[in-house]
Amino acid sequence: GDSVTQMEGPVTLSEEAFLTINCTYTATGYPSLFWYVQYPGEGLQLLLKATKADDKGSNKGFEATYRKETTSFHLEKGSVQVSDSAVYFCALSDLGGGSYIPTFGRGTSLIVHP
Amino acid sequence: EAQVTQNPRYLITVTGKKLTVTCSQNMNHEYMSWYRQDPGLGLRQIYYSMNVEVTDKGDVPEGYKVSRKEKRNFPLILESPSPNQTSLYFCASSLEGPAHDQYFGPGTRLLVL
């Protein structure tokens, strides 16, 4: 079946540091890829997405590129802020593989210090 | 304001006492789903619904029931809760399916004693 693997956290950075959170996937079809963010005490919010190879999703300074050759969708941000402290989830939806059940990674906690 | 609401937000109950967690969305979305979030396991889907009267099992459906009698509502029912159902539960909706952006509710934290 489909799977999503994220780097384990927590990731601890100082403000203005560069962020990378790795995400790799396996899928039988041609999935859409997502990054969701969960702030403390809240539900998940869509951060960005990409639906085909080489697409770049971007939002709030975060970016991720759909790399089919390496089956990856790594999240990056050039300069993190304290307010970016949250848990980040990589996810895929593989309708082409015949499933209406999305697959989520286990989440990566990001802690940004002033 | 577009939103998904859940009630209650916090619930403590005892083993075997039936409970219902409500979920409602105001975006006229067709697809709705329930997830549970457990430490180290991420989000796992319990049930989903593609439209009114159309529901199907997710990855972890055992011990749960759902219904979709109206498009906006998708309640989660635990007929006989057990301690292993202690978790954080999220309802979500999207326009047509999981390949579309999902909107999540604020979560319901359930403790089963």
B41-83 per-position pLDDT tens digit: 889 999 999 999 999 999 999 999 999 999 999 999 999 999 9
Closest approach of chain A CAs to the CA of B7, in angstroms? 13
Q: CB contact, 8 Å: A53 with chain B? A: no
Which chain B positions have a beta carbon within 8 Å of A36's beta carbon?
102, 104
Average pLDDT, chain B: 94
Kindly report, residue by residue over A44-90, the tens digit of the pLDDT. 999 999 999 999 999 999 999 999 999 999 999 999 999 999 999 99
**The two three-digit tokens of residue B59, written as one number:** 């990855």
Contact B98 A102 (CB under 8 A): yes
Rounded CA separation A42/A35 (Å)? 16
Q: CB contact, 8 Å: A46 with chain B? A: yes
Show the beta-strand stretches assigned E in B58-105. Answer: 65-66, 76-78, 87-94, 103-104
Q: Residue B1 to residues B5, B26, B82: CA-CA distances in angstroms?
A: 11, 8, 36
Closest approach of chain A CAs to the CA of B9, in angstroms? 11
| Shortest CA distance from A97: residue in chain B | B99
Closest approach of chain A CAs to the CA of B16, in angstroms? 27
